[in-house]
Amino acid sequence: MLKVEKLQAWYGNSHILQGIDLEVKTGELVCLIGRNGAGKTTTIRGIMGLTSRVEGRVMFDGQDVTKQPTHTRNGLGLGYVPEERRIVPGLTVRDNLRLGLLAAKHGGREADVIAEVAETFPRLAERLDQDAITMSGGEQQMLAIARALVSRPKLLMLDEPSEGIMPVLVDEMFELFARLRDKGTTILLVEQNVELALGIADRAYIMDQGEIVYQASAKILLADAAIQERYCSV
């Protein structure tokens, strides 16, 4: 589904990604973990075409998308929930969802899609006509996820969705990710919440200083306290 080859990225003159190789197969839930500043966000932004200077190759769904603009990548089925959530202020919850639906290719009716969202996220259903930015952090995160989902992406990339969210909601959210994966959405999940993430993931990559330093099945990693200690403890 997704294959990243020797991806390098720069911010100005600082060389951030040193050559990332990473693969997510269809139907997998893959986790990308690592300390603050390891380059996880930069990797995802690179995959989405949002970094200004990159080298290497990004293959998605059998196509080389390295040169494609961000909106085209979304159109091919690449969904992305950014770390900052980016709920559009001044727009209602409904309008934020509509925005996610505008470019969707599946042609589902707006009412049906919103009903689907309401089922998955009852909290959002109660707040459809509220200015989205006035919602709590957890609700905004739900909305960001829902907004990425309405276009039914083939691969959903989530950047630290559990950041700053109360534990009950985090559990709920991770259950949702597992369910989505079981229903066929491929997922690339960036997380600091290592144990929870590994609990639902199939495989994981560990990043440090702009490089992939370790990869293994989630089960093995979960059992390997030494590795976790070395790369993930804050």
Partner 1 sequence: MWRVVDPLDVFLLRIFILDGLTPDLIALQLFTGLALGAIYVLLALGMSLLFGMLTVVNFAHGAFYMLGAYAGIALLGIGVNFWLCLLFAPLIVGSLGLLAERFLIRRLYGRGIDYPLLLTFGLSYMMVEVIRIVFGTNGLPFETPDALQGASDIMIGYFPTYRLFVIAVAVVVLVALWLFLERTPYGLIIRAGARDPQIVRILGIDVARVWLVVFGIGTGLAGLAGLLAAPLQGASPEMGASILAESFVVTVVGGMGSLVGAVIAGVLVGVVVAMTSLFAPEFAQVAIFALMAIVLLIRPQGFFGRAGLMS
Ligand X SMILES: Nc1ncnc2c1ncn2[C@@H]1O[C@H](COP(=O)(O)OP(=O)(O)OP(=O)(O)O)[C@@H](O)[C@H]1O
Shortest Å distance, C-beta 90 to ligand X: 25
For residue 101, the minimal CB distance to ligand X (Å) is 28
Among 41, 151, 186, 193, binds ligand X (CB under 6 A): 41
Under DSSP, the state recorded for 55 is E
Task: Using the rule CB under 6 A, give the single segment among 33-41, 53-61, 69-77, 175-183 that binds ligand X.
Answer: 33-41
Q: What is the distance in angstroms between the CA of the first residue and the CA of the last residue of the chain? A: 32
> What one-character DSSP code corresponds to residue 133?
G
| Cβ proximity to partner 1, 106 vs 229, nearer residue | 106
The residues that touch partner 1, with contacts defined as CB under 8 A, are 48, 50, 69-71, 74-75, 80, 82, 86, 88-91, 95, 98-100, 102-104, 147-148, 151
**Burial tier of 155 (Cβ tally within 10 Å: 0-12, 13-18, 19+):** buried
**Would you count residue 42 as binding Mg ion (CB under 5 A)?**
no
Name the token pair of 38: 């390891």
Kindly give, in sequence order, each residue whose CB lies less than 8 Å from that of residue 156, ignoring residues fewer than 6 positions away: 79, 80, 81, 148, 149, 180, 185, 186, 187, 188
167's contact among Mg ion, ligand X, partner 1, none, with CB below 5 to 8 A by partner kind, is none
Distance of closest approach, residue 24 Cβ to Mg ion, in angstroms:
18
